[in-house]
Structure 1
């Protein structure tokens, strides 16, 4: 008989709200905060859904997460201007990773293996200089670890022109789908049609230098290390 260990008992769970409750495909959902963190750590591009001038928009942008303070920072752009004009506006941030195509014996059973997260809440525009620098560092390091210390820091003028939003990770939903097609034991099993998973694994390529870069400028180790990584 399995007995829960200390680590399992301490596993922190997300609070389930009416907006994050899994109603369809519940077996693919998770309430573990560690699963949310894994999805957020694995990427740096999200979609920010917000209403701008009465029109719903899903804006692609970059993000970074401070896992100690449980805050998601994202570049605001047009969305942040709308939120300043409508304080208290709700947004939805989604992060999705595609892991493969599920190719079944029938078109109906085709699918996608994925990991995704949805974060809901009311963001605030970051105006404090120290937090703005901190948030930009978090965002930069999530994209390319080591780049913040390597490149020039933002100037005061550049900071003034930067829009950064902070969204608490208080309300979120996580779903994952993995595995082969579901029709291996159905009527189509004897059809002779190939079925399986076509994995999808995006990786960083070799660094390509700026054509205007002086000859002989070395690629920094932290950038070279990213080549070949997912």
Structure 2
């Protein structure tokens, strides 16, 4: 967040939290941290008048969020130039309270609203796809066979300016009713985290092809 930008820069009537409003954050710093933490997003859109949701990978470049798909995809075609809602959620733990009512989860989430724009410039598209690959797999793009013109043509790239939305975050122990703290019931948090397992080589690898050093730099987010 720049010094001149207000804390509520992304706040709007539809992004404003009505319940648990104390968990809401509307500054770019909070939103960007969640977007950068997990590449998996879900995008809500309209397809032939029906509400649909597409799970896909997202990545951020500056003040825009990007995603890609097949140029022949009905979902991608329906999103182009249309209003969409993009969400990213990281679950950090189960929260066990002294009553069922106050059980919860610790999480970090983002919801963004905006119009999906198609990136049509071929050079800009190729540069963004490189950014995606190197964001998830640092250093891998330069080790790959170059993308062909036909592959680039078959790939559609959409982006959305980050102008309206909110981050919602819950952390810490359970919040019970005051009288329930005297009950002899265990309460607390069961932390959770996604992790990467050791790489498994493709059986079709050529003999003698070594695992690349850049695999050691892969992280989630």
TM-score when normalising by structure 1: 0.87
Distance 1:82 1:11 in 2: 33
Count, aligned residues: 217
Q: Which piece of structure 1 moves more, 10-19 or 164-173?
A: 10-19
Alignment of 1:76-95 (within 5 A): 76=69, 77-84=73-80, 88-95=81-88
The residue aligned with 1:191 is: 183
Matched, 1:168 2:161: yes
Structure 2 residues not aligned, in runs of 5+ = none
Alignment of 1:47-196 (within 5 A): 47-67=42-62, 70-76=63-69, 77-84=73-80, 88-183=81-176, 186-196=178-188
Distance 1:172 1:8, change over 3 A: closer
- 2:59 and 2:65 in contact (8 A); partners too: yes
Ranges of 4+ aligned residues in structure 1 off by more than 4 Å: 7-12
Structure 1 residues not aligned, in runs of 5+ = 1-6
The Cα RMSD (Å) is: 2.0
- 2:138 and 2:217 in contact (8 A); partners too: no
Distance 2:76 2:141 in 1: 23
- 2:89 and 2:110 in contact (8 A); partners too: yes
- 2:137 and 2:217 in contact (8 A); partners too: no
Distance 1:224 1:80, change over 3 A: same
Q: Which has the higher contact order (CA 8 A, sep 6+)?
A: 2
